[in-house]
């Protein structure tokens, strides 16, 4: 479940993606209303289109709170080892590796998120992606061994 801050943050950048809708692709048009806070769902009050706030993001279908995922990714990007990070944040290595892969799959969006919401400097963002790139092969191997 999303925290109130996460819910409101995600809601503020939503737009209706149903093509014939008069609010199609418009953010801040006042048409996005809450359908279910606990399920993270909103709807467009012009056309009735419903969706979950995390649709199309790296946070879609995660059971872990966004802030925890971000904290883990930050620890890893700052050079803390995988085992230490997992122990400190009480997450499994498999989960942490899944989040890295998801961040990489949504790299543009996650970069924007790091700039706007995490207020990271470009050099910190570069360090994060450099970490992901360097570890990609090792992570893939560890991930495969975690899944066996
Ligand atoms: Zn709509």
Per the model's pLDDT, the better-predicted residue between 136 and 18 turns out to be: 18
Q: Tell me: the pLDDT tens digits for 69-116?
A: 988 988 887 778 889 999 999 999 999 988 988 888 888 888 888 888
Same domain, 83 and 40: no
Centre of ligand 1 to C-alpha 55, Å, is 15
Centre of ligand 1 to C-alpha 108, Å, is 25
Give me the mean pLDDT over the 48-54 stretch: 94
Centre of ligand 1 to C-alpha 106, Å, is 25
136 Cβ contact list (under 8 Å, min separation 6): 104
The percentage of residues in the chain with a pLDDT greater than 90, rounded to a whole number, is 34
Structural domain contains residue 61:
no
Centre of ligand 1 to C-alpha 73, Å, is 34
pTM above 0.85, yes or no: no
Same domain, 14 and 80: no
Per-residue model confidence (pLDDT) at position 140: 67
Q: How far apart are the C-alpha atoms of 117 and 123, rounded to whole Å? A: 16
Centre of ligand 1 to C-alpha 45, Å, is 7
Same domain, 45 and 87: no
């Amino acid at each position: 479940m999303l925290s109130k801050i996460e819910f409101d943050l995600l809601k503020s950048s939503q737009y209706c993606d149903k093509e014939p809708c008069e609010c199609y692709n418009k953010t801040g048009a006042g048409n996005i209303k809450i359908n279910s806070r606990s399920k993270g769902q909103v709807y467009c009050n012009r056309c009735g289109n419903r969706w979950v706030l995390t649709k199309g993001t790296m946070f879609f279908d995660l059971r872990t709170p966004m802030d925890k995922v971000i904290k883990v990714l930050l620890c890893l990007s700052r050079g803390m080892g995988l085992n230490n990070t997992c122990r400190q944040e009480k997450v499994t290595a498999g989960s942490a590796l899944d989040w890295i892969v998801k961040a990489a799959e949504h790299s543009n969006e996650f970069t924007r998120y790091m700039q706007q919401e995490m207020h990271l400097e470009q050099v910190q963002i570069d360090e994060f992606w450099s970490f992901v790139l360097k570890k990609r092969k090792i992570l893939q191997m560890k991930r495969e061994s975690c899944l066996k």
